[in-house]
Chains A and B, each alone.
Chain A
Amino acid sequence: MASRPEFFWLFLVLLPIVIIMIRRYLTGRKNLADVAGLWRPSKFYDLYTVKNFFSSLGILAFFVFAILSLAGFPGREIPVSYEPAGTDIIFVVDVSESMKAADIAPSRLTAASRVIKSVCENTPDGRFGIVVFKGGGIKMIPSTEDVESIYNFLSFLSTDLLTSPGSNIHSGVETALRSFPKAEEREKYIILLTDGELHEGDMTKIAEQAFKADVSIYCVGTGTAEGARIPLADGGYLADSAGEIIVTRLQEEGLRLLAEASGGKYYSSSDSTLLPELIGIAAGTVEADDSRYRIVVKERYRFFLVIALLGLFVSRAVKVIKWKKKF
Chain B
Amino acid sequence: MDSLQLLSRIRNIPLVSARLVEGFLSGNYRSVFKGPGLEFDEVREYSTGDDVRSIDWNVTSRMGSPYVKTFREEREMALLLMIDVSASLQTGSGTYRKADTAAIISALLAHSAVHNNDRVGAVFFSDRIEKWVPPMKGRNHLMRLVQDMASIEPKGRGSDLSCAIACVEQSMKRRGICILVSDFRIPPAYRQMSMLARKHDLIAVKITDPADRKVPETGLMEVQDPESGMIIKSFGFSPGYRKDYEDFWLADHIFWQRECRRRGIDSMVIDTEDDPARALLSFFRRRKGK
Contact = CB atoms under 8 A, between A and B. Distances in A.
In the complex, A touching B (Cβ < 8 A):
yes
B218 A39 contact: no
Nearest to B236: A31
A28 B211 CA distance: 17
Which size class do A's interface residues fall under? Answer: 10 to 19
A interface: dominant SS? helix
Contact of A34 (B2, B93, B96): B93
Interface in A2-33: 24, 27-28, 31-32
A243 interface: no
B93 A36 contact: yes
Contacts of A31: 216, 218-219, 221, 236
B219 A38 contact: no
Given A31-B236, A32-B221, A39 B97 contact: yes
Contacts of A34: 93, 211, 216, 218
Interface centre among A24, A36, A37, A38 (most CB of B within 10 A): A37
B1 interface: yes
Given A31-B221, A32-B221, A37 B97 contact: yes
B95 interface: yes
A24 B219 CA distance: 9
A34 B216 CA distance: 6
Interface in A131-152: none
Interface in B203-226: 211, 216, 218-219, 221, 223
Contacts of A41: 2
A35 B219 contact: no
Interface residues of B, number: 18
B94 interface: yes
B92 A35 contact: no
B28 interface: no
A252 B1 CA distance: 80
Given A24-B219, A28-B219, A35 B93 contact: yes
B100 interface: yes
Given A31-B216, A31-B236, A37 B221 contact: no
Interface string B74-114: 00000000000000000111111100100000000000000
Given A31-B216, A34-B218, A39 B236 contact: no
B interface: dominant SS? loop
Given A31-B236, A32-B221, A34-B93, A39 B1 contact: yes
Nearest to A28: B219
A39 B92 CA distance: 8
B94 A35 contact: no
Contacts of B2: 41
Contacts of B236: 31, 35
A35 B232 CA distance: 14
Contact of A38 (B94, B218, B221): B94
Contacts of B223: 35
Interface centre among A27, A28, A32, A35 (most CB of B within 10 A): A35
Interface string A193-210: 000000000000000000
A146 to B, nearest CB: 75
A24 B221 CA distance: 12
Nearest to B6: A39
A35 B221 contact: yes
A39 B219 contact: no
B8 to A, nearest CB: 14
B246 to A, nearest CB: 14
A39 B100 contact: yes
Nearest to B2: A41
Nearest to B223: A35
Nearest to B1: A39
A44 to B, nearest CB: 12
Nearest to A38: B95
A36 to B, nearest CB: 7
A280 to B, nearest CB: 68
A39 B94 contact: yes
Interface string A222-236: 000000000000000
Contact of B93 (A24, A28, A37): A37
Interface centre among A27, A31, A32 (most CB of B within 10 A): A31
Given A31-B221, A35-B221, A39-B97, 19 more contacts: A24-B219, A28-B219, A31-B218, A34-B93, A34-B211, A34-B218, A35-B93, A35-B218, A35-B223, A35-B234, A35-B236, A37-B91, A37-B92, A37-B93, A37-B95, A38-B95, A39-B92, A39-B96, A39-B100
12 contacts: A28-B219, A31-B219, A31-B236, A32-B218, A34-B218, A35-B234, A36-B93, A37-B91, A37-B93, A39-B92, A39-B100, A41-B2
Interchain residue pairs A-B with the least CB separation, the first 3: A31-B218, A34-B216, A37-B92
Interface of A: 24, 27-28, 31-32, 34-39, 41
